Amino acid sequence: MPGASKDNRIERGNQTRRLILGRTVQIASVEGLEGLSLGRLATELELSKSGVFALFGSKEELQLATVRAAIKIYIEHVVQPARDVPPGLGRIWTMCSTWLTYSEQRVFPGGCFFYSVTAEYDARNGSVHDTVVQARDNWMSFVEQTIEGARTAGEIDQDTDVPQLAFELVAFLEAANAESVLHDDSTSYAKAAKAVRNRLRAIATDPSQVPDTP
């Protein structure tokens, strides 16, 4: 049937697209988005170059699709687990601890995908830069909203400087990621978890609500 044939082609195209993006997020986390090429992917995945080109059209579109695919993975591993916890200190802690786990377990082989590509594109212009910036801004907004939720719930001091605390927590997480990737040593994650715990206890209305262990 013509309709069934068309549906099969669409599904095959979607499967190939998922296959390609599953590889590109791995490459980009280690080598950067500039390390992507349609020809390389065709060779590595044993696909036709024309078929890869038909799905993405250009290197820039491949890069943009890779960032969008990485966002979905990031939400799955970091953001959604925090959202599943009621607003408060528990949500802040879950957000931080799942981030550390996401980096330590190398969901992306190069550590945090967004730490890597932000450094790669921070001084550039263009669509890829703008997409990376938007992803970063969305993450920082989520961190601030999570902290604000704890303040509204009365679990942290009312005079907490939310943007400052968000900056500090993200700095702890990213420092652990950078040290671990650079030295191939996971001890930085425990140090970051301790730093997060100490910072949260300093502002908690009931410090005993902050977990003792990751």
pLDDT confidence band for 147 (50 / 70 / 90)? very high
E strands along the chain, which residues?
A: none
Q: What is the DSSP letter of 208?
A: G
E strands along 9-143, which residues?
A: none
Average pLDDT over residues 60-74: 97
Q: Give the pLDDT of residue 6.
A: 61
Q: Give the pLDDT of residue 2.
A: 56
C-alpha to C-alpha distance for 44 and 40, rounded to whole angstroms:
6
Average pLDDT over residues 56-85: 97
pLDDT tens digits, one per residue of 99-141:
999 999 999 999 999 999 999 999 999 999 999 999 999 999 9
Q: Give the pLDDT of residue 52.
A: 87
Q: Dihedral through CA 10, CA 134, CA 158, CA 97, nearest 10?
A: 60
Average pLDDT over residues 12-39: 92
pLDDT confidence band for 168 (50 / 70 / 90)? very high
Every domain of the chain and the residues it spans: 60-208
pLDDT confidence band for 50 (50 / 70 / 90)? confident
Closest among 25, 133, 147 to 82, alpha carbons compared: 147
CATH of 60-208, one of 3.30.2350.10, 1.10.357.10, 3.30.540.10, 3.40.50.720: 1.10.357.10
Helix (H, G, I), strand (E, B) or coil at 156: strand
